[in-house]
Amino acid sequence: MQLEANYGYIALLLIVAIIFAASLIIIPFILSRLGIIPRKPDPVKTSTYECGMETVGKSWVQFNFRYYFYALLFVLFDIETVFLYPWAVHFKQLKLFGLVEMFIFIFVLAIGFVYAWRKGALEWK
Amino acid sequence: MNFSPELLAPEIAVAFFAVVVIVLDLFLERKGTLAVVSLAGLAVAAGLTIARWGADPDTTFNSMLVVDQFALFFKLLFLGVAALIILASADYVSKFRRFQGEYYALVLFATVGMMLMASTAELVSIYISLELASISLYVLAGFLKSPESSEAGLKYLLLGAVSSAVLLFGMAFVFGVTGETHLGQIGDSIRNMGLDKLWDSPALLMGIVFLVAGFGFKIACVPFQMWVPDVYEGAPTPVTAFLSVASKAAGFAVIMRVFYTAFGQATALSTDWGMLFAVLGVASMTVGNVVAIAQTNIKRMLGYSSIAQAGYLMVGLAAIGYAPIGDILGRSGVIFFLASYAVTNLGAFIAIIAISNKVDSDLIDDYSGMARRAPLLSLALALCLISLIGLPPTAGFIAKIYIFNSAVQHDLMWLVVIAVLNSVVSAYYYLRVVKVMYLGEPASEEGVPSSAALRTALSISLLGVLFFGILPRYLLNIAESAVKMLT
């Protein structure tokens, strides 16, 4: 019973969310039809961003795909560091087991790095 | 925490050799050695697996991983299949200008994933090992840069990701109801719930249905088979063989462990999913066989044929669902069928690799008169196709008898009748290839050359087809001992 009651709350939330979202579209529409909303457009009000910068050039900018290589390699070393910190904090409890484990981890990462290097991912050409 | 990595030695060995292959590929000019190193890795792993054979079941990593006879059997099966695939693709891969090392390494990583799938007994690790196998296979399916191969890779990736999500959703439901991720504990929890409470929780049934859908994608059964023809056609032929054999077997291994261990204890529940598998099996057999008739491309035809074979295997799963606990006929039947299907389908695909290497086409019409151009290859292909129909003296015959027998024992006569009718339908399209090869006019008189490695792989699979067909007792004993320990 408890389970169904909990799901009931979720269903309620879902219904409220749908009504809320729909009313945000429908109410202004009805109000503008009734002429209650004043229609006074000016350049600032109709601009895409009321605050912020106008876009310069097209928004479909193409990045050189080599940036992605660097992003991936960054992730490689980032993850390594993320794992090294907690390991260093608990180094004494983990003893030799932790040391060996971490060396295996770094070894596998190093292979990834060697792979990237030999395949020329580090060269900008 | 019990931590004994030595139980994982075969997997570690294969993964280690995969890394070695990658590193060697970076510094080595002669790429032929890569296949040898990969084979060495598989041999080491097989040795380590056989060394555990017959030992008592043991668990490690907080009983996430189980090393029992069942797992060992499947590990050996995957290692064998991977070895044959590597032997058969040596020629094929040597034509690649780049990424030869990656090909072998990905095959090995996929093998590790499948080996783990066979020995995991916990939902989260099942998911992770399944992803390890799947992601490697997604890349392999799109390995050629041709549009077809890219399409195959992308299609497999997208549909595979959806199916993984469905699977994970099902696992979440099962976890939500039982509060456990370990299969044995899920089983206990369901047994303790009692029957009336079981029917009170549709979430569990929904979870089970979602799991069937997620695993159904892996084993390519109807209605989760939409990816099969396109991926099988576009992927490199050795990869297609790997997909149709190893990936399917891994799916069945996981299904057997999950459904037997977690949902097999309560009989009321197990007949439910037994019936579900029976119905899906009928759909798979019928759709696979009927659509295969219309195919002109042999890889597509074998794709539909593999859907139909999944249907026959699901007859065995249905029998497991109906079987009282402790009955081993259904489970050993599925295992026997998987092993004989593996050698048969591999044999067929290896012959196709050799022939299509020469004629550069996968159309059945281009196999016209092949018996005069390549008598031995044609004989091998014909034998494998006969085994796929299920005629004596081949492995397929015994496998079908055994699996149908298990279904008859559990009052599933109607299912067996449908399966046998389907086998009759399947004879048409399998024998059509044989007819084209033996009675058609050859387009040219040129022979079909094949490398020693490919011939070795083909002879091994043919030996398997004939040996399991004529002397099935040995494999049956192994299959029975593999399931006895399954808990």
| B5 in contact with chain A, both atoms CB, cutoff 8 A | no
| B4 in contact with chain A, both atoms CB, cutoff 8 A | no
What is the pLDDT at residue A4?
61
For residue B19, the chain A residues in CB contact (below 8 A) are 108, 111
Contacts A–B by Cβ distance under 8 A: 14
Distance from CA of A79 to the nearest CA of B (A): 19
For residue A108, the chain B residues in CB contact (below 8 A) are 19
- Of B23, B27, B201, which is closest to A111 when you measure between CB atoms? B23
Average pLDDT, chain A: 83
What is the pLDDT at residue B456?
92
* Cα–Cα distance, B184 to B262 (Å, whole number): 6
Residues 401-420 of chain B whose Cβ lies under 8 A from any Cβ of chain A? none
For residue A3, the chain B residues in CB contact (below 8 A) are 201, 203
pLDDT-based confidence at residue A59 (cuts at 50, 70, 90): confident
What is the pLDDT at residue B487?
55
Cα B292 → chain centroid: 19
Backbone dihedral angles phi then psi of residue B120, each to the nearest 5 degrees: -85, 145
Q: Are B110 and B137 in contact (CB under 8 A)?
A: yes
Q: Are B300 and B290 in contact (CB under 8 A)?
A: no
Q: Which of B23, B61, B197, B204 to mutate to test the interface with A (most CBs of A within 10 A)?
A: B23
* Cα–Cα distance, A32 to A76 (Å, whole number): 55
- Of B22, B201, B203, which is closest to A115 when you measure between CB atoms? B22
CA dist list (Å): B89 to A32, A114, B18, B246: 70, 27, 16, 15
What is the pLDDT at residue B2?
60
For residue B23, the chain A residues in CB contact (below 8 A) are 111, 114-115
Q: Indicate left, alpha or beta for B55 from its phi (over 0: left) and psi (-120 to 50: alpha).
A: beta
Q: Are B5 and B12 in contact (CB under 8 A)?
A: yes
What is the pLDDT at residue B300?
93
Q: Are A102 and A87 in contact (CB under 8 A)?
A: yes
* Cα–Cα distance, B247 to A10 (Å, whole number): 39
Q: Are B162 and B209 in contact (CB under 8 A)?
A: no
CB contact under 8 A, B22 and A111: yes
Residues 95-124 of chain A whose Cβ lies under 8 A from any Cβ of chain B? 108, 111, 114-115, 118-119
* Cα–Cα distance, A26 to A35 (Å, whole number): 14
Helix (H, G, I), strand (E, B) or coil at A64: coil
* Cα–Cα distance, B22 to B171 (Å, whole number): 34
Q: What letter would DSSP give residue B363? A: B
CB contact under 8 A, B19 and A111: yes
pLDDT-based confidence at residue A118 (cuts at 50, 70, 90): confident
Q: What letter would DSSP give residue B66? A: E
CA dist list (Å): A49 to A43, A60, B196, B367: 11, 18, 60, 65
What is the pLDDT at residue B324?
66
Helix (H, G, I), strand (E, B) or coil at B182: strand
| B161 in contact with chain A, both atoms CB, cutoff 8 A | no
* Cα–Cα distance, B427 to B155 (Å, whole number): 30
Q: Which of B19, B61, B97, B102 to mutate to test the interface with A (most CBs of A within 10 A)?
A: B19
| B22 in contact with chain A, both atoms CB, cutoff 8 A | yes
* Cα–Cα distance, B282 to B239 (Å, whole number): 27
Nearest residue in chain B measured CA to CA from A117: B26
Every domain of chain B and the residues it spans: 266-487
Cα B323 → chain centroid: 23
Q: Are B393 and B466 in contact (CB under 8 A)?
A: yes
* Cα–Cα distance, B123 to B173 (Å, whole number): 11
Distance from CA of A4 to the nearest CA of B (A): 10
pLDDT tens for chain B, residues 1 to 487: 566 778 889 999 999 999 999 999 988 888 888 999 999 999 999 999 999 888 888 888 888 888 988 999 999 999 999 999 999 988 888 888 788 889 999 999 999 999 999 999 999 999 999 999 999 999 999 998 889 999 999 999 999 999 999 999 999 999 988 888 999 898 888 888 776 777 777 888 899 999 999 999 999 998 898 999 999 999 999 999 999 999 999 999 999 999 988 887 766 788 888 899 999 999 999 999 999 999 999 999 999 999 999 999 999 999 988 876 767 888 889 999 999 999 999 999 999 999 888 888 888 888 888 888 888 999 999 999 999 999 888 999 999 999 999 899 888 899 999 999 999 999 999 999 999 999 988 888 788 888 888 999 999 999 999 999 998 888 888 888 888 766 5
CB contact under 8 A, B22 and A119: no
pLDDT digit string (tens) for A61-94?
777 877 888 888 888 888 888 888 988 898 888 8
Neighbours of B205 (CB within 10 A): 17
What is the pLDDT at residue B153?
93
Extract the tokens encoding A51.
Answer: 């605050």
Res A112 pLDDT > 80: yes
Strands, E assignment, B427-481: none
Q: Which residues pair with B120 in a beta bridge?
A: B65
Distance from CA of B131 to the nearest CA of A (A): 19
Helix (H, G, I), strand (E, B) or coil at B432: helix
Q: What is the DSSP string of B290-359?
A: HHHHT--BHHHHHHHHHHHHHHHHHHHHHHHHHSPTT--HHHHHHHHHHHHHHHHHHHHHHHHHHHHHHH
* Cα–Cα distance, B93 to B405 (Å, whole number): 42
CB contact under 8 A, A114 and B19: no
* Cα–Cα distance, B279 to B287 (Å, whole number): 12
Cα B128 → chain centroid: 18
For residue A95, the chain B residues in CB contact (below 8 A) are none
Cα A14 → chain centroid: 25
What is the pLDDT at residue B266?
67
> Residue B162 half-sphere exposure, CB side, CA atoms within 13 Å?
11
Nearest residue in chain B measured CA to CA from A4: B201
Interface predicted TM-score (ipTM) of this complex, two decimals: 0.74
Extract the tokens encoding B186.
Answer: 């899920």
Q: Where are the alpha helices (DSSP H) in B360-412?
A: 370-373, 375-389, 395-409
